């Protein structure tokens, strides 16, 4: 790749920008303060993921939200690299909860693009089947008994299913396609 | 209500993967006079569903909080993830009326209502604040004075700071360090102690967490720590279970035993290694145990 190609500016066209997007997203819990970001870059500088991955940049995400680059944001799987360590949240001089913005963007991707990581779908399916995010074979329960541990508390699957239904999570999960790796 | 009585919230990862943490925690807490009541019912705290649907996570967490309210007990978690989710939900639902009304609307369908009367505490908070250093010190009868270890308290018991009101400094957490010192062991400082383990993204990407863990294990080895002490199943899996794979990936050798804090404390209380399920660790602590026995 030639130097000009490599450093070619990523041109943003006016058509790509959805001016209402920032207002739409700032209604989501945790993303309320996104307009306060003044691009100092503390979040990216202190992000442990950004140190080892060249595509995950919290400051860039915040700016893209402000510019309304919704489609670009929701089709970028790098969103799923945030490890929710909350260092960005604690270090932001403007009190912007970057991790909350990333969560809101993930939620929106799942809802509008109908796509999520395979692991999330598997965990959800386990939770619906047994209340726990892993499936416990009978041998696990026996092993607990042998180890002198009390039986695991039982799930209330009826209640749990209702919670998934009321929050529209069942249909979200049904529709969603999956991807394995970022 | 007896002062040291809690509803124990095991979560999913500990019973599935790390019974060594549960076994050692139950032994140690019993010796310290802490009574654990089992959850009457259980569902996952909600942590893995937060990226999918925040309202689903809040409702799942709130359901567990309602169970604790019904039992009139505070929750004790062993997992940083469960602590973070339950504690944050407890705080935001208490503070944010609109959010509380929305979630209570969901809970109404299953005959529950969030009131905000229960507290959520992690094992570290219960030991440092409720049991207290004096009582722990008194219970230590076999101080591990010839041992030098390092600690990794993990992110979710200190961050985001606005939801965690236990007085520990997220930039320089000392609660676990001080608890380690009570066992007689030296707790060493090392570079980037507050760095995240990376485990939450391992389901979608292994390269980044492996590099993060490799760096941390390197920093710990550089100060000649004999073991790493953790209080979270996610962090523990990252450094113990995955350590052989990290060693192979980077062609480096760490051989660093990773103990749950409850195992370290148990040893200092004179409990036998088998009682604390030390044999279940992936990286064996053989050398460390022989040094203790000397």
pLDDT greater than 70 at residue A147: yes
Q: What is the dihedral of CA B164, B166, B169, B171, to 10 degrees?
A: -30
- What local confidence, expressed as pLDDT, does residue A7 receive? 63
Residue B113 belongs to a domain: yes
| Surface of A (91-130) touching B: CB under 8 A | 97, 99, 103-104, 106-107, 110-111, 116-120, 123-124, 127
Same domain assignment for residues B104 and B220: no
CA distance linking residue A135 with residue A127, whole number of Å = 8
In chain B, how many domains are there?
A: 2
Contacts within 8 Å (CB) and 24+ apart, A37-41: A37/A62, A37/A63, A37/A66, A37/A92, A37/A94, A37/A96, A38/A94, A39/A63, A40/A93, A40/A94
Residue A139 belongs to a domain: yes
pLDDT greater than 50 at residue B96: yes
Same domain assignment for residues A105 and A125: no
Residue B131 belongs to a domain: no
- Residue in B41, B48, B161 closest to A90 by CB: B161
User: Between these two residues, A9 and B96, which has the higher pLDDT value?
Assistant: B96
Cross-chain Cβ contact B106/A167 below 8 Å: yes
Residue B182 belongs to a domain: yes
Residue A9 belongs to a domain: no
Residue B205 belongs to a domain: yes
**Per-residue pLDDT tens over the stretch A156-166:** 999 999 999 99
Query: What's CA B226's distance to the chain center, in Å?
Result: 20
Q: What's chain B's average pLDDT?
A: 97
| Model pTM score | 0.96
Same domain assignment for residues A131 and A107: no
Report the SS3 class of residue A172. helix
Same domain assignment for residues A56 and A128: no
Same domain assignment for residues B62 and B178: no
Residue where one domain finishes, among candidates A56, A91, A113: A113
Q: Which domain holds residue B94?
A: 5-123
* Greatest C-alpha distance within chain B: 61
Q: Are B57 and B47 in contact (CB under 8 A)?
A: yes
Same domain assignment for residues A94 and A120: no
Instruction: Tell me the percentage of chain A whose pLDDT exceeds 90.
Output: 94
Same domain assignment for residues A76 and A21: yes
Residue A52 belongs to a domain: yes
CATH of the domain at B22: 1.20.1050.140
Residue where one domain finishes, among candidates B89, B123, B157: B123
Q: Are B188 and B225 in contact (CB under 8 A)?
A: yes
Cross-chain Cβ contact B42/A153 below 8 Å: yes
- What local confidence, expressed as pLDDT, does residue A4 receive? 52
- What local confidence, expressed as pLDDT, does residue A6 receive? 61
Q: What's chain A's average pLDDT?
A: 95
Output the six-digit token pair for B97.
Answer: 């009326």
CATH of the domain at A57: 1.10.1060.10
- What local confidence, expressed as pLDDT, does residue B71 receive? 98
Residue A29 belongs to a domain: yes
CA distance linking residue B31 with residue B276, whole number of Å = 13
Those residues with Cβ within 8 angstroms of residue A96's Cβ, 6 or more apart along the chain or in another chain:
A33, A34, A36, A37, A43, A62
- Residue in B22, B23, B44 closest to A127 by CB: B44
- What average pLDDT does the segment B84-92 reach? 98
Report the SS3 class of residue B258. strand
Same domain assignment for residues A144 and A61: no
Cross-chain Cβ contact B52/A110 below 8 Å: yes
Helix (H) or strand (E) holding B228: strand B227-230
- What local confidence, expressed as pLDDT, does residue B206 receive? 97
- Residue in A53, A83, A123 closest to B196 by CB: A83
**Per-residue pLDDT tens over the stretch B251-289:** 999 999 999 999 999 999 999 999 999 999 999 999 999
- What local confidence, expressed as pLDDT, does residue A10 receive? 79
Beta-ladder partners of B187: B149
Same domain assignment for residues A59 and A33: yes
Residue A5 belongs to a domain: no
Beta-ladder partners of B5: B35
pLDDT greater than 70 at residue B2: no
Residue B51 belongs to a domain: yes
Task: HSE, CB side, 13 Å, CA atoms: give it for residue B282.
Answer: 17
In chain A, how many domains are there?
A: 2
Helices (H), chain B: 13-17, 19-31, 54-71, 80-95, 97-108, 123-125, 133-139, 175-181, 207-222, 233-236, 243-250, 261-268, 286-293
Same domain assignment for residues B119 and B160: no
How sure is the predictor about B53, in pLDDT bands with cuts at 50, 70 and 90?
very high
Chain B positions in Cβ-Cβ contact with residue A89 (cut-off 8 Å): 159-160
Same domain assignment for residues B77 and B170: no
Q: Are B232 and B79 in contact (CB under 8 A)?
A: yes
Supply angle C-alpha A132, B71, B17, rounded to 5. Answer: 25
Residue where one domain finishes, among candidates B78, B95, B123: B123
Same domain assignment for residues B111 and B157: no
Residue where one domain finishes, among candidates A80, A95, A113: A113
Q: Are B195 and B183 in contact (CB under 8 A)?
A: no
**Chain B residue with the nearest C-alpha to that of A119:** B203
Residue B26 belongs to a domain: yes
Residue where one domain finishes, among candidates B123, B156, B172: B123
How sure is the predictor about A5, in pLDDT bands with cuts at 50, 70 and 90?
low
Chain B positions in Cβ-Cβ contact with residue A33 (cut-off 8 Å): none
Q: Which domain holds residue A127?
A: 114-182
Residue B130 belongs to a domain: no
Same domain assignment for residues B279 and B147: yes
Residue A169 belongs to a domain: yes
Instruction: Tell me the percentage of chain B whose pLDDT exceeds 70.
Output: 99
Please state the ipTM of this predicted complex: 0.95
- What local confidence, expressed as pLDDT, does residue B166 receive? 87
Angstroms from A90 CA to nearest CA on chain B: 6
pLDDT greater than 50 at residue B1: no
- Residue in A107, A136, A181 closest to B16 by CB: A136
CA distance linking residue A74 with residue A66, whole number of Å = 14
pLDDT greater than 70 at residue A41: yes
CA distance linking residue B210 with residue B229, whole number of Å = 18
Same domain assignment for residues B74 and B183: no
Cross-chain Cβ contact A143/B19 below 8 Å: yes
Same domain assignment for residues B112 and B164: no
Q: Which of A42, A52, A105, A110 to mutate to test the interface with B (most CBs of B within 10 A)?
A: A52
Same domain assignment for residues B117 and B182: no
Same domain assignment for residues B148 and B289: yes
Same domain assignment for residues A34 and A108: yes
Residue B133 belongs to a domain: no
**Chain A residue with the nearest C-alpha to that of B276:** A147
- What local confidence, expressed as pLDDT, does residue A1 receive? 45
Same domain assignment for residues A182 and A104: no
Same domain assignment for residues A91 and A171: no
**Chain B residue with the nearest C-alpha to that of A81:** B201
CATH of the domain at B242: 3.40.50.11810
Same domain assignment for residues B81 and B183: no
**Per-residue pLDDT tens over the stretch A99-135:** 999 999 999 999 999 999 999 999 999 999 999 999 9
- What local confidence, expressed as pLDDT, does residue B167 receive? 85
Q: What is the DSSP letter of A104?
A: H
Residue where one domain finishes, among candidates A85, A113, A141: A113
Task: Answer whether A5 touches B (CB < 8 Å).
Answer: no
Chain B positions in Cβ-Cβ contact with residue A131 (cut-off 8 Å): 42-44
**Per-residue pLDDT tens over the stretch B135-165:** 999 999 999 999 999 999 999 999 999 999 8
CA distance linking residue A99 with residue A36, whole number of Å = 15
* Strands of the B186-187 sheet, one edge to the other: B186-187, B148-152, B227-230, B258-260
Task: HSE, CB side, 13 Å, CA atoms: give it for residue B172.
Answer: 1
- Residue in B23, B195, B200 closest to A147 by CB: B23
Cross-chain Cβ contact B208/A134 below 8 Å: no
| Surface of A (30-59) touching B: CB under 8 A | 30, 48-49, 52-53
Neighbours of A67 (CB within 10 A): 17
pLDDT greater than 60 at residue B70: yes
Cross-chain Cβ contact B48/A127 below 8 Å: yes
């Amino acid at each position: 790749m030639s130097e000009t190609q490599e450093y070619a500016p990523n041109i943003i066209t006016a058509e790509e920008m959805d001016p209402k997007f920032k207002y739409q997203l700032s209604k989501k819990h945790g993303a309320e303060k996104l307009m306060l970001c003044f691009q100092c870059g503390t979040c990216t500088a202190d992000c442990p993921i950004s140190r080892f991955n060249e595509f995950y940049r919290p400051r860039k995400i915040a700016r893209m939200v402000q510019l309304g680059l919704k489609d670009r944001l929701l089709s970028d799987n790098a969103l799923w690299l945030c490890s929710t360590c909350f260092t960005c949240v604690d270090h932001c001089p403007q009190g912007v909860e970057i991790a909350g913005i990333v969560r809101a963007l993930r939620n929106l991707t799942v809802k509008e693009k109908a796509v999520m990581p395979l692991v999330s779908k598997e965990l959800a399916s386990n939770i619906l089947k047994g209340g726990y995010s892993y499936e416990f074979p009978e041998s696990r329960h026996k092993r607990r008994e042998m180890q002198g541990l009390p039986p695991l508390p039982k799930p209330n699957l009826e209640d749990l299913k209702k919670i998934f239904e009321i929050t529209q999570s069942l249909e979200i999960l049904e529709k969603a396609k999956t991807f394995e790796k970022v | 209500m007896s002062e040291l009585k809690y509803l124990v919230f095991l979560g999913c990862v500990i019973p599935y993967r790390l019974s060594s943490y549960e076994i050692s925690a139950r032994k140690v807490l019993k010796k310290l006079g802490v009574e654990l009541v089992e959850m009457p019912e259980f569902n996952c705290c909600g942590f893995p569903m937060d990226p999918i649907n925040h309202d689903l996570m809040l409702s799942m967490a709130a359901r567990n909080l309602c169970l604790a309210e019904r039992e009139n007990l505070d929750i004790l978690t062993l997992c940083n993830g469960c602590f973070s989710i339950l504690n944050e939900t407890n705080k935001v639902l208490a503070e944010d009326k609109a959010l509380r009304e929305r979630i209570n609307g969901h809970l109404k369908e299953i005959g529950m209502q969030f009131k905000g009367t229960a507290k959520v505490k992690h094992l570290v908070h219960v030991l440092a604040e409720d049991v207290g250093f004096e009582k722990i010190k008194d219970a230590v009868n076999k101080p591990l004075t010839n041992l030098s270890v390092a600690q990794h308290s993990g992110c979710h018991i200190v961050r985001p700071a606005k939801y965690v009101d236990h007085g520990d400094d997220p930039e320089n957490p000392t609660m676990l360090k001080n608890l380690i010192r009570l066992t007689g062991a030296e707790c060493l400082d090392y570079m980037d102690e507050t760095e995240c383990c990376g485990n939450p993204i391992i389901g979608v990407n292994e390269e980044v967490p492996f590099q993060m863990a490799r760096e941390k294990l390197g920093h710990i080895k550089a100060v000649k720590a004999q073991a790493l002490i953790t209080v979270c199943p996610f962090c523990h899996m990252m450094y113990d279970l995955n350590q052989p794979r990290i060693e192979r990936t980077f062609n480096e050798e760490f051989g660093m035993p990773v103990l749950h804090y409850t195992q370290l404390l148990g040893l200092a209380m004179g409990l036998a290694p088998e009682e604390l399920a030390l044999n279940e660790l992936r990286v064996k602590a053989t050398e460390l145990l022989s040094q203790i026995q000397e």
